[in-house]
A and B are shown apart, each in its own frame.
Chain A
Amino acid sequence: MPDIALTGPRGPKPKKRFSRANIFLYGTLIMVSMYYLLPLYVMIVTSLKGMPEIRLGNVFGPPLEVTFEPWVKAWSEACTGLDCTGLSKGFWNSVQILIPSVTLSIAIASLNGYALSHWKFKGSEVFFTILILGAFIPYQTMLYPIVIMLREIGLMGDLWGLVLVHTVFGMPILTLLFRNYFASIPEELFKAARVDGAGFWRIYFQIMLPMALPIFVVAIILQVTGIWNDFLFGVIYTKPATYPMTVQLNNIVNSVQGIKEYNVNMAATLLTGLVPLVIYFASGKLFVRGIAAGAVKG
């Protein structure tokens, strides 16, 4: 994996400000930017229009009369089947899934990384290799065995079952992230702590944890966006009452009953995308570091 250290540009230097090449360069970039920005723009304007306006115009026109009603409706009244409680239920389900999943997966993976870098035992590298290879196995191969396992421990359909699934599938990439980070901490520091009589847990909590804060932030960004955006595990391992936001969104928008309210649909879509978008715009370079590390997960 190349290290994404986005330092200064290295390409050849353009000469004049308004040369033909420069106009072409910026022209292309602006055109491409429009393709990338278009869906966000369309979602925002659609969610601010009333239905009569949508029926008359096309999706690209700005709203003539701005209304926030679709947002309110998407949050608290939109229907999935006969249940009309809006997306808010899915939002709170997602929050309830997100917090324990992120905490548990990062706690376990950081311990794994720590054990794998400073407390290697016989076979630890073998388990690690299997774990990393496991990240490439299509989820479909493991879906049903996990259903059986969750049923055995009585967590099928439960939020905690989904938390376990997220912990398991987040483990390869997070373990890799933490292992590489802890391996870069000087061995001497670890040895000195050992000589002073500190054990496995004490070194972890008093030396490694405080030094690893940046990588924890990267891991949190990676997991929050990944788990929030998950659809597959949510649809399989939960039941309608505990559906996460993405699943509920899909059920609302693609529901076949009733009249299609495009503005409500787009407001709901934006609401679901809001959490990862805020994280993305707030975290900047850390997000890039996270995805560079998480790139293996695809």
Chain B
Amino acid sequence: MAVVEDGTLNSAKGAKRPIRLFRNPMAKIASIPMILTAMVVFVGGTVWTIVHSFTGSRLLPKLNWVGFDQYERLWDTPRWLISISNLALYGICSLILTLTIGFILAALLDRKIRFESAFRTIFLYPFALSFVVTGLAWQWILNPDFGLQSLVQGWGWESFQFDPLNNPDIVMFGLLIAGIWQGSGLIMCIMLAGLRGIDEDIWKAARVDGIGTVKTYVRIIIPMMRPVFITSLVLIASGIIKLYDLVVAQTNGGPGISSEVPAKYVINYMFQAQNLGQGFAASTMMLCSVIIILIPWAYLEFGGRKNA
């Protein structure tokens, strides 16, 4: 080992590392883009936005402090309140439905069926498509004059009404149908991998004890798959907060402002309404909601592992 020059074994565990700026100069040079991304864009950008959310910036960012004015105005704006409640409704429904559909599909696919890979391909392909394509396709299917509504009416059920894209009360469900179509395949895939990771002896033991299939799933398999469910939960939740393209393509926030979402609010205020301060305040609120979701997850994921 003594042959090896200074500073080459630093990756070996337990090796004593002298602090010197010019050790491994090449590794540091190669890492400059990463360091800039992490420190300047991620940390710097986020801090910059939070700081400017306390200013009265309009067309251009300025440092004229207004305290919490932007936040007070934000929570007084009906459009923001609608955005938040829409996101909450979409989020809760999407979370429950995606997890349920994902798990049931994975469980069905795990029943030693034929054509498993064909079914898997069908369930997952929407995930390859963009939200814009998804939104436009479902906009057309839900078209009241030519789509689903007219089809059912054509079957003789004249009074059938299902026009989510023009009905403010159910427009979020129109988005939900498209969102679940796009995203549930991914969760199915993750759940399937989780199911495949469960020892087959569990099934044998359950059968010996005379426990029914459904009961085995509910009482034994699902509790064993807790980490998989938590991963799925975090995935779905972080996707929900980003909900933007789908809304722009499918409804563009309409009818009226009944399908607005926070991400769209931020972008409209920053880039169209020329009210930067509002946009910054709204995006800081989005960041807060992510932190609220992430902390319990990080605690469960990493805090729990230490105890185990």
Contact = CB atoms under 8 A, between A and B. Distances in A.
A9 interface: yes
Given A145-B48, A273-B129, A12 B111 contact: yes
A287 B121 CA distance: 11
Nearest to B180: A35
Q: Which of the listed residues A114, A254, A279 has the most CB atoms from chain B within 10 Å of its own CB? A: A254
Please tell me the size bucket of the interface on A: 35 or more
A10 B196 contact: yes
A5 B146 CA distance: 43
Given A6-B192, A138-B241, A140-B267, A229 B137 contact: no
Contacts of B49: 141-142, 144-145
B266 A140 contact: yes
A225 B127 CA distance: 10
Interface stretch (A79-87, A95-103, A211-219, A288-296): A288-296
Interface in B7-41: 8-12, 17, 19, 23-24, 26-28, 30-31, 33-35, 37-41
Describe A's contact surface by its main secondary structure. helix
Given A1-B231, A39-B141, A253-B136, A229 B48 contact: no
B252 A187 contact: no
Contacts of A142: 41-42, 45-46, 49
B131 A231 contact: yes
A12 B252 contact: no
Please tell me the size bucket of the interface on B: 35 or more
Contact of B133 (A127, A201, A272): A272
Contacts of B194: 2
Nearest to A294: B186
Contacts of B282: 140
Nearest to A60: B151
Interface of B: 3-4, 8-12, 17, 19, 23-24, 26-28, 30-31, 33-35, 37-46, 48-50, 52, 61, 105, 107-113, 116, 119-134, 136-141, 143, 146-147, 150-151, 154, 181, 185-186, 189-190, 192-198, 200, 203, 207, 213, 227-228, 231, 235-236, 238-239, 241-242, 244-245, 248-249, 252, 262-263, 266-267, 270-271, 276, 279-280, 282-284, 286-287, 290, 294
